[in-house]
Structure 1
């Protein structure tokens, strides 16, 4: 199916449904409808860089069956091999969205190409990013093998609208983190292995680590000593078989990416 032509004057009406869907569960679907209209995008994935060495998959929707696996793999380690990462970090002080360099398979390592382009059948992508405070939201628009590469006009339309789309996506992701992340994490700790093996206090400490609290902030929030905070964290990590905050994030991301009801 080809994409409908979007003239510059139509941009406001095309993007209006996305703005109205910010913070709502329908946002992903509305985003996908929008980018299909603009350039027949097949799949969209959004990654949030909240530190220089940590990323999480904030959103994924479209026609790639292994999309959740890609989100986990990218968040765990492939983000460090992404050639766009250096550009995003270099443009940290940019006051507006960044449209990233044109896609070329040779930009990527063999293992990256194997998983993201061969296994996922991605043949083209256009990407943009925006820094909001200390977080970078990296928005990727993909075309798959059954669609073929973006046409010249499609690429031009998407590149023209990507900055506005990216800014709207970033605002939604911020709203979603504030509104939904604590509830989702609490549900994971209450219902899913390996978190079920933790004591109540160990869960409370881990939940706050995942919410961005430092050790001193955790101690103050829970009304316990800094030494006790370290002790609960150490015990929790031992039970989970991990040794770092990054590994704790990886467990949570993997569980969040699984279909509802999967174990």
Structure 2
């Protein structure tokens, strides 16, 4: 493990891999790999907050085993007590937003216990960007095994935050992939043979949404999401996301039906 505070590779920051992965199913993995390489980020979570008050966890990737539970808890309740919330909405419409440096005293005791003490998180940086009525709130974490962000890492995050925020927002908006998927699921077998809810779940799987994010986006339980996924995979005769993606690639590359 690199000692805390030592310099990273001095090469210029490069977020090209994450930008090129926009709209692809592997975007979450490419994003966290890019963040890890460029600034030593251990985990990344992305939340969508709207003016109407809705909050959802869109992305959960990295080295925190309980990240899915934390995302669901934040979206369900704890977003209201996030000390960064005022900064997010005060700067509404401006881009990008760089939030204050992490300090445990900023958070209430219950928030600290669940999101930091129990999870092993020891440091956090964050940025955000508004697109129309949605704020994409991007959080970067380090756990105890990594130690806190060093000065070089913080400077690197500050430099790449605008590009990362814009990439995240673009990915989770209506991307070309999402438009293609809508057409495939509406017209092309075997995807068109799935029920409406199975299609909704599978489309979000292909866009890189976590199971928790799918549940929140569709307003259903995590158990229901997993059940719809299982049923869809059984109908398609597959057992993994990779096989689902292979079906989509085959349909995109193959000739279109004349029917």
Q: TM-score, normalised by structure 1?
A: 0.68
- Give the total of aligned pairs: 202
Go from structure 1 to structure 2 and tell me whether the alpha carbon gap of 1:248 and 1:39 turns closer, same or farther (over 3 Å shift).
closer
Give the CA deviation at 1:253. 6.4
Give the CA deviation at 1:57. 0.4
**RCO (CA 8 Å, sep 6+): is it higher in 1 or 2?**
2
Question: How many Å separate the matches in 2 of 1:255 and 1:178?
Answer: 27
Structure 2 counterpart of 1:187, from 178, 189, 198: 198
C-alpha offsets along residues 108-135 of structure 1, whole Å, 9 cap, x if unaligned? 1111111100111100000000001110
Question: How many Å separate the matches in 2 of 1:97 and 1:138?
Answer: 10
Question: How many Å separate the matches in 1 of 2:36 and 2:201?
Answer: 38
Go from structure 1 to structure 2 and tell me whether the alpha carbon gap of 1:119 and 1:21 turns closer, same or farther (over 3 Å shift).
same
Go from structure 1 to structure 2 and tell me whether the alpha carbon gap of 1:251 and 1:127 turns closer, same or farther (over 3 Å shift).
same
Alignment of 1:2-151 (within 5 A): 2=2, 4-7=8-11, 10-11=12-13, 14-94=14-94, 96-151=95-150
Q: Which secondary structure state, in structure 1, belongs to the residue aligned with residue 142 of structure 2?
A: strand
C-alpha offsets along residues 223-258 of structure 1, whole Å, 9 cap, x if unaligned? xxxxxxxxxxxxxxxxxxxxxxxx986853645886
Q: Which secondary structure state, in structure 1, belongs to the residue aligned with residue 152 of structure 2?
A: helix
Question: How many Å separate the matches in 1 of 2:159 and 2:150?
Answer: 14
C-alpha offsets along residues 174-213 of structure 1, whole Å, 9 cap, x if unaligned? 136982998898228899xxxxxxxxxxxxxxxxxxxxxx
Q: Which secondary structure state, in structure 2, belongs to the residue aligned with residue 147 of structure 1?
A: coil
Give the CA deviation at 1:19. 1.3
Aligned counterpart, 1:241:
none
Q: Which secondary structure state, in structure 1, belongs to the residue aligned with residue 157 of structure 2?
A: helix
Question: How many Å separate the matches in 2 of 1:30 and 1:249?
Answer: 22
Question: How many Å separate the matches in 2 of 1:130 and 1:164?
Answer: 10
Q: Which secondary structure state, in structure 1, belongs to the residue aligned with residue 220 of structure 2?
A: helix
Q: Which secondary structure state, in structure 2, belongs to the residue aligned with residue 163 of structure 1?
A: helix
Aligned counterpart, 1:156:
155
Structure 2 counterpart of 1:252, from 193, 217, 220: 220
User: CA RMSD for the aligned pairs?
Assistant: 3.2
Go from structure 1 to structure 2 and tell me whether the alpha carbon gap of 1:93 and 1:250 turns closer, same or farther (over 3 Å shift).
same
C-alpha offsets along residues 65-93 of structure 1, whole Å, 9 cap, x if unaligned? 00110111011011011011111111112
Question: How many Å separate the matches in 1 of 2:164 and 2:109?
Answer: 31
Question: How many Å separate the matches in 2 of 1:70 and 1:26?
Answer: 22
